Structure 1
Amino acid sequence: MKTFLTAIVLSLFYLVTFSQKQINYSSLDIKNPIDFKGDYIIYENKKIELGPKAFFIDGQFSDKDLENYKYVYNSVNEAAKHLSNGTEDDPMVLYIAPYVYWIDNPDDPEIRLPKQVGGTPFGLEIECEWLKFYGLNTNPENVVLACNRGQTMGSKGNFTMFNIIGNGTSTENVTIGNFCNIDLVFPLKPELNRRKRGSAIVQAQLAFSRGDKIFARNTHFISRLNTGPFWGSKRTLFDHCHFESTDDALNGSAVYLDCTFEFYSGKPFGHTVGTGAVFLNCNIKSFTRGEQYLIKGGGPITVVDCSMEADYTSYWGWKEKTPTEERHYQFNNQLNGAPVFIDSHHPYATVEMKDKNILNAYRFEYKGEVVYNIYNLLRGDDDWDPMNIKNRVVAAEKENKQSYHDLPTQLKVQPTRVSIETGKESVVLSAQLLKYGNYEIKAENISWKVALEYDELVTLKPGNNGTCEVILTNEKDETKEVVIVAYTPEGLEAASVIYVKPSFLEAPKFSELPQIVKKTDGKLAVTYKLDMRFEDQSLVSWYRCSDASGKNPIEVQVSRFNSPNWEYTITAADLGYYIMATVAPNHLRCKPGTPVASVFNKQISGADIQTKSNILQPDLQTLSTKYQSAVLPGFWTLDCYAPEDTHFYDWEADTTKDAWYYGPGVNGASLDTGLVQATKGARLRCTPVGNSFGNMKVSFTACPAKTAGQGFSSARAQYMDIFIKFDTKTLNGYALRLIRTTKYHDAIDCVFVEYENGNAKPIGDAVSTSCYRTPCMITVEAKGNKLLAHAKTPAEYFVTPNRPEVLQEMDLRTPITPNKFGGFGFQHTGTVGSGATLIKDLSIEWE
């Protein structure tokens, strides 16, 4: 019996041994070979034992090849099912051979959905401490972790390859790429090449990281919009890594050392976090046309010893409009081989670190060599030293007799942008001193200053622990903006903006109460007198009311920008109403007083109207933007609405606040003032007076916040409809739709749609145009049984060559069935702020 059992065991042993020897293994890159021995591998003359914390992955293996091997896999996804938590001294390592590893199946036609409404769809979610992705090749382009999905391209939501929870995540010698909008080229095995899903640049993200001590070395992070290299991480170091991106892409709480970048648009950071992002000895190549900025939102950036290259721009700034209190740091940078001062348009925002001790926090010289002080930046409170330079730093401290660790990199002051009244209030500013990584240290040796021109407006009283009381002494009439600067001996700076008001007076009294009088030119005017010496800044608002006592008032016009709206033009929309004006007395040294109302003494009749009823050129500056959902002849209906064809993207209209505002735009519309969407789904309808309308024409100037011609923030049913020949109550009629699609990243589609009871369907063919840039002049016209549209821009911009299907000037026409409707308006389903469109120069004509 024993002999029989022994024979079985020996047979099994030889069977396993024989099976293992049958795999004729050879790595894809014969110049950088891997020797696979079953339970260990040899790479670069090092023996690596496989085990519970050391897996070997090669996509060349078939499932059958792996039947007799433990800790060996042919996909990252399968290996991820068997991970064990590592430690800082003994990490969990995935040793990955050259291949293309699809973290998400690119051939699966199913749309990737988030687990929760409004969430993020992920390719692979991992929870593991101290996990390392180690490519077994010196060229990271030979070990590719890939996906190719993005917002509206294979995904509902901003598809993200990885969501990794755990401290100590690291990568080395790998490429992490989302090839949704760029081709995957893999020379080692060309049959693994793959074409991008589409040319339109959409949000296609790489990795979320919920952890500390994140370290990437010799890693390529490849995508375009929202690249996302370990977003959400705390202390993060990228060493000798490469990045390709457009906007909103980089990690805003990271140190980039000896890295290379390719910027394909003007704002690679959406924002930075806490103590921000640091570039040390990096090379940045910009392909941006126009000015190159580094950040769209807020947060600090430091750039040291960096070389910038650009073929199409000579200006580099921190952001498009840098706030007065914002500070960034630079030292020894070059643009196309010449020294560069970043953000010369806003010089107050740049602290030049030359000859300042603050530079030691980032780099110092020791024995004739530059040492990038990663130890100071990342040591935190637990002495993390990812570059193993602590001993060198300590030696330099002894030789140079100064400290190179625990040096702060950020000074912050709060509050800012507050308004204070002289004589009644003061404000205490508080400074906060931080080491990199948001580690607070005691705020000592903080000094405070104010420019000489502000001396008469404030008195500073520095206190202990980095505080300063600001006492206001503004005896002038105007409110003044005062900048107060905190600084340290080492060269850190921070600032606070205080709006210093004079002492407020009581609102002026009426010496003559408001009274509405009729003028000879078809206008009403409100007259009154105030007992004051100041220029009148009263808030005058106009209402239509149902009777002479002012019942059921609906606000139709207001005052803006401290300019009283004294006159009101009577139109056909006022017929049958009583017109009321309210006056809240105001000047520059008081708060508005209690409004006093006056109602015109008679109902508006046809004899009062001198304007043409077939032309409407509204003064948008005085148009009331108060939320108003009633659909009434002669009124503007301003509300928020989520059309049926956008419901796939799970959002709801916010009806709790005004959907529109009148004021300056942002980004591409920042130099213009007009009517702007304040909420996603902002809708505007104007219902003319009358029962039957013929031909109709709407013209206006659109000023998109987006600057590249894409118009809207993404291609997830984000559009603006321009209603024409429209029944504003039943929602029947026509519209020109301007919509972002997945076809292009620098152009929109224009198509006519027909509305039936609120549901829109395209009529006619769509055309693509790149002219939707500030300012874009748009005309939509109904003539007989045709709809016509035209759009053009005088703006100069780069036109992508060999793309004749994308028009620089848009003309569109389609046949329709005429109707008697005369309503018009706008429906905007895009995100607002940087995705909004400012509207001005509006004109409507009817026949």
Structure 2
Amino acid sequence: MKAPLLLTMLAILPDIVLAGVNYNDHHLLLDQNLSNADAEASPYLFNQVQEALAAINRSQATPSDTITLDIAPGVYWVDDPDDPAIRRVSSNSEGTPYGFRLKCPNLRIVGQSDNPEDVVLACNRGQTQGAIGNFTMFYIDAHNIEASNVTFGNYCSVDLVYPRDPRLNRPRRANAIVQAQLIHTNANFVKASNCRFISRLNLCPFSGVRRALFSDCHFECTDDALEGAAIYQRCHFEFFSSKPFWGTPDFGAVFIDCKIDTHVRGTQYFCKTRGGINLIRTQIRQLDGEEIRVVPCYGTNDAPCYYSEVTLNGHPLKIEGATDITELPLLEAFTVDNLLHGPLPTHMRLSPVGQRTLNEDEDTRPLQIQFFCWNGQPAKRRIGSDAIISATMPSGLTAATRLHLTPQLDAAPGFARKPSLKIDRKKGIVHLDYQLNVDGNDMSHVTWYRFSMTDKSDTVAVRHGLTADASCYAISPADAGYRLMACVTPKLDITHTGTRVAVQTEAPIGRNIAAAKGEESSLTTDFHDVPIRFQPKLQAGCWTFDAFKPADTQTYNWLPQPHNAWFYGHGVDGAAGSIGLNEATKGARAFYTPARKSCKLMTAKLLIAPAKTAGQGFGSATGQYLDIGVKFDAKTLTGYALRIRRTPDYDRAVVMQLVRYQDGIVSPIGDEKVYSSYLTSCEITVMSDGKELSATASHNGDILTLSAPIQSSAADDSHCTFYMQHTGSTGASASLIERVELEWK
């Protein structure tokens, strides 16, 4: 322990003089070794971090004033780590639970040691670990912020090690890597020097700042962690996963004379989405000495990226998707002074005409444009296409913009022979026949509907597609007693879309025709021909699409959007390159009701492409799961399912468990099992034969099996519906359903 501090009160000014420093209402001291008597003797001295922060909020500083907080060595818990209460979103925190909200025009935080490990501002909460929401230590409302000689740490997923006094060490709250954040701010500028920023997922060192300069700082993080509008000078990074930025502005994050240590194998990306990444004289080291790819962004990126004198494991590195400016004049622009307030540009914007307003008083520079023609004569384009237009200055400065080019289309076609339907009773097929009034490649769209009411109030879309695929409709047992209607929207590949025309069968489909097909025994779909739209009706031979918030998710604040629950399209991130059924809202739910009255055995086999790339499947462990159900009664929500969910215990795996639904209440059957290969092209099989419920997960040879005995009744055999319920986040946390195969016996 250090010797007691001697305090001298000045007779004229209300300042406190301590070690030659005047402490006053604009200059405060936080020292956990101060006695209570010393701290209470002055309004400028504190031994509790919350009291010092509250004093900053109470200060009546003008917009030009700066409040300085000196912090003596010690570990200061901004949020009580021993408080068992769960931190939740307050009414004014815009969806994020904060440890402390600071408001000050201009703020300086200065650690009183040259070693930032000696001065620690700490918390240890994260999503599902002591908090509901992405717990963040600070929100700072300020114009300018400076920080030096301080460690900002969220020790939710990482141990606090304090070499100065090991008695203050503290183990992490949990082993799972969850969103555990440091600082959000709306500041115009942040300058941090000789600081440490410690967490893992969603580090957020002054996230939200317009521009930041980090000098001689240390960062430890996984994904979605770093501030994109920042210059990093002589900083050290330890990357535990492959995408430390969510994205960056077009002018990009800049690394100058930095060192990056990475645990990543394969490919080290910087951005999860798009953005500029600029690396100048930066050393990258794979900590196992392996050769890896270094790529600025995961996926397509049209933001410019530059590099110069970058090494990997001590050897010169060529960065894919970036421009080497070592021999170009542009390199001179990548200095801290120029990046902050110099005249040399490091970013050029290229905008399509019509998306930018030009001022006639501004300086302009004419461009010399040369056109190239690859075809002797223009041809009519049939489909639109994307193009990236780029421009390069002699200095090496580049810019690009993405354009979508659409063809010039002819007038919409009509019908030379109006649509009609013809039933082939022997084969059980309805044929759609028509003829357009112009020749060409027919791209007309057809949607088939089923209805029984004269006012068509019970109409349900059952199939759709282009004419080439959808001009014939195979009658199913579910069609008995219903009329069929085909709606045709005429179009050629080089024309606009015409007016839709509907045609229907003259009479309901006879039961003898439908019965000839027998009971429905199987279904296979990749959803390309399934109308994906809000459809709440439970009808045999139909998909039901809606959204629902189950009872076991009521703790979490979200609302389902049933009218926009699913869509058919391409996946993202880990599901990039896959196409199928995607969730569009939390709570997305789907049923398939077969055209049969009972079954002894039902099997569902799904091919799934999760967007998450580490095997965790879902955005967070906040009641997020996917249930795959068989032998279900959709009206009462009774049946059996496999539940795939993310838990707080694992950040690179999911937990799978067999469950029983009884009137919407879910209870487990058997034990949970951990599965770390819930990745793209994961095959999930769920089966119930009335005596046993079983499930299998398989991906690249990693197979997990679950089984449990069940006691079913005769009533259970009448339950034949397939069921899916997804309560996870969408987009980059979705589970794309590539294919569903169902079988009943």
| TM-score w.r.t. length of structure 2 | 0.91
Q: Which residue matches 1:623? A: 530
- Contact map agreement 1:504 1:590 (CA 8 A) in 2: yes
Aligned positions of 1:366-385 closer than 5 A: 373-379=335-341
* Cα distance change, pair 688–480 in 1 and its aligned pair in 2 (3 A): closer
Deviates more, 1:208-217 or 1:609-618: 609-618
1:321 pairs with 2:299 = yes
- Contact map agreement 2:250 2:303 (CA 8 A) in 1: no
Q: Measure how far apart 1:594 and its partner are.
A: 1.2
Q: 2:572 aligns with which of 663, 666, 669?
A: 666
- Contact map agreement 2:526 2:738 (CA 8 A) in 1: no
Aligned positions of 1:180-329 closer than 5 A: 180-273=156-249, 275-310=251-286, 311=288, 312=290, 314-323=292-301, 325-329=302-306
SS in 1 for 2:732: helix
Deviates more, 1:60-69 or 1:224-233: 60-69
- Contact map agreement 1:171 1:217 (CA 8 A) in 2: yes
Q: Which residue matches 1:361? A: 333
Q: Which residue matches 1:824? A: 722
The residue identity in structure 2 corresponding to 1:826 is M
Q: How far apart, CA to CA, are the structure 2 residues paired with 1:681 and 1:194? A: 38
- Contact map agreement 2:387 2:405 (CA 8 A) in 1: yes
Q: 1:809 aligns with which of 685, 694, 703?
A: 703
Q: Measure how far apart 1:37 and its partner are.
A: 5.1
Deviations 1:617-658 (A, max 9, x none): 23521011011111223221101112122121111111343x
- Contact map agreement 1:291 1:315 (CA 8 A) in 2: yes
- Contact map agreement 1:258 1:282 (CA 8 A) in 2: yes
Q: Which residue matches 2:365? A: 445
- Contact map agreement 1:727 1:733 (CA 8 A) in 2: yes
Q: Measure how far apart 1:328 and its partner are.
A: 2.1
Q: 1:161 aligns with which of 128, 137, 145?
A: 137
1:842 pairs with 2:737 = no
The residue identity in structure 1 corresponding to 2:635 is K
Aligned positions of 1:453-464 closer than 5 A: none
Q: Which residue matches 1:61? A: 34
SS in 2 for 1:294: strand
Q: 2:102 aligns with which of 105, 111, 126?
A: 126
Q: Which residue matches 1:540? A: 446
The residue identity in structure 2 corresponding to 1:653 is P
Q: 1:332 aligns with which of 278, 285, 309?
A: 309
Q: How far apart, CA to CA, are the structure 2 residues paired with 1:295 and 1:607? A: 58
What's the Cα RMSD here? Answer: 2.7
SS in 2 for 1:607: helix
Aligned length: 725
Q: Measure how far apart 1:501 and its partner are.
A: 3.3
The residue identity in structure 2 corresponding to 1:335 is L
The residue identity in structure 1 corresponding to 2:182 is L
Q: Measure how far apart 1:509 and its partner are.
A: 2.8
Q: 1:101 aligns with which of 76, 80, 91?
A: 76
SS in 2 for 1:375: helix
Deviations 1:363-396 (A, max 9, x none): xxxxxxxxxx2222223xxxxxxxxxxxxxxxxx
* Cα distance change, pair 478–130 in 1 and its aligned pair in 2 (3 A): closer
* Cα distance change, pair 833–448 in 1 and its aligned pair in 2 (3 A): farther
* Cα distance change, pair 85–226 in 1 and its aligned pair in 2 (3 A): farther
1:351 pairs with 2:329 = no
Aligned positions of 1:383-422 closer than 5 A: 405-415=342-352
Deviations 1:66-117 (A, max 9, x none): 3445522212221112224668997422221221110000000000111128
- Contact map agreement 2:485 2:504 (CA 8 A) in 1: yes
SS in 2 for 1:497: strand
Q: Measure how far apart 1:171 and its partner are.
A: 1.1
Q: Measure how far apart 1:480 and its partner are.
A: 4.5
Aligned positions of 1:540-559 closer than 5 A: 540-546=446-452, 552-559=458-465
Q: How far apart, CA to CA, are the structure 2 residues paired with 1:69 and 1:731? A: 65
Deviates more, 1:475-484 or 1:611-620: 475-484
Deviations 1:787-840 (A, max 9, x none): 111101017xxxxxxxxxxxx532112233312311112111111110011112
Q: Measure how far apart 1:558 and its partner are.
A: 1.4
Q: Which runs of 5+ in 1 are unaligned?
A: 1-23, 28-34, 363-372, 380-404, 416-426, 434-440, 458-472, 796-807
Q: How far apart, CA to CA, are the structure 1 residues paired with 2:447 and 2:256? A: 56
What percent of counterpart residues are identical?
38
Q: How far apart, CA to CA, are the structure 2 residues paired with 1:432 and 1:835? A: 40
SS in 1 for 2:555: helix
Q: How far apart, CA to CA, are the structure 2 residues paired with 1:157 and 1:582? A: 47
Aligned positions of 1:790-801 closer than 5 A: 790-794=696-700
* Cα distance change, pair 65–547 in 1 and its aligned pair in 2 (3 A): closer
1:567 pairs with 2:472 = yes
- Contact map agreement 2:485 2:505 (CA 8 A) in 1: yes
Q: Measure how far apart 1:331 and its partner are.
A: 2.3
Deviates more, 1:817-826 or 1:771-780: 817-826
SS in 1 for 2:349: strand
Aligned positions of 1:403-802 closer than 5 A: 405-415=342-352, 428=354, 430=356, 444-445=364-365, 447=367, 452=372, 475-519=380-424, 520-546=426-452, 552-559=458-465, 564-604=469-509, 605-608=511-514, 609-610=516-517, 613-657=520-564, 659-794=565-700
Q: Which residue matches 1:368? A: none
* Cα distance change, pair 547–342 in 1 and its aligned pair in 2 (3 A): same
* Cα distance change, pair 480–203 in 1 and its aligned pair in 2 (3 A): closer
Q: How far apart, CA to CA, are the structure 1 residues paired with 2:633 and 2:507? A: 31
Q: Measure how far apart 1:556 and its partner are.
A: 1.3
- Contact map agreement 1:711 1:740 (CA 8 A) in 2: yes
* Cα distance change, pair 671–243 in 1 and its aligned pair in 2 (3 A): same
SS in 1 for 2:567: strand
Q: Which residue matches 2:52? A: 79
Q: How far apart, CA to CA, are the structure 1 residues paired with 2:245 and 2:370? A: 31
SS in 2 for 1:559: strand
Q: Measure how far apart 1:550 and its partner are.
A: 6.3
Q: Measure how far apart 1:303 and its partner are.
A: 1.9
Q: How far apart, CA to CA, are the structure 2 residues paired with 1:273 and 1:685? A: 42
- Contact map agreement 1:778 1:789 (CA 8 A) in 2: yes
Q: How far apart, CA to CA, are the structure 2 residues paired with 1:549 and 1:527? A: 25
- Contact map agreement 1:198 1:743 (CA 8 A) in 2: yes
SS in 2 for 1:377: helix
Q: Which residue matches 2:112? A: 136
The residue identity in structure 1 corresponding to 2:744 is W
1:114 pairs with 2:82 = no
Deviates more, 1:189-198 or 1:48-57: 48-57
Q: Measure how far apart 1:540 and its partner are.
A: 1.3
- Contact map agreement 2:526 2:580 (CA 8 A) in 1: no
- Contact map agreement 2:381 2:407 (CA 8 A) in 1: yes
Q: How far apart, CA to CA, are the structure 1 residues paired with 2:60 and 2:369? A: 52
Q: Measure how far apart 1:130 and its partner are.
A: 2.2
* Cα distance change, pair 822–443 in 1 and its aligned pair in 2 (3 A): farther
SS in 2 for 1:633: coil
Q: Measure how far apart 1:41 and its partner are.
A: 4.0
Q: Which residue matches 2:13? A: none
Q: How far apart, CA to CA, are the structure 2 residues paired with 1:228 and 1:456? A: 55
- Contact map agreement 2:157 2:199 (CA 8 A) in 1: yes
The residue identity in structure 2 corresponding to 1:165 is D
